[in-house]
Amino acid sequence: MHRVNSGKFSAYAQWPNKETYEAANDIEMAANYELARAKMHNALNIEKTEVIFQMEVEIDYLQRRAFDI
């Protein structure tokens, strides 16, 4: 999560593809995870959330991989 110059918050998520993103809400996790998920969802104010940029991944530098030394 980031705060932009206007003072508003900006957040992003990285998904491997659109299908995984769309199916994520149907996955049932452990009870403590579901509780945290519900708290986060309730804090988001979904009605005022807007997608500003929707992009395709070209190169993913966040994937875990061995580093060349």
Helix, strand, coil share of the chain (percent; to 5): 35, 5, 60
Which position has the token pair 């395709």? 56
CA separation for the pair 46, 42 (Å, rounded)? 8
pLDDT attached to residue 66: 62
- Per the prediction, the chain carries an average pLDDT of 78
DSSP for 50-64 reads --------S--TTS-
Please report, as a single letter, which amino acid is at residue 54. Answer: Q
The pLDDT tens digits of the residues spanning 53-69 come to 777 767 666 666 665 55
CA separation for the pair 13, 32 (Å, rounded)? 21
Each domain of the chain, given as residue ranges in start order, spans: 2-48
What are the structure tokens assigned to 54, written together?
Answer: 């929707």
pLDDT higher at 13 or 5 = 5
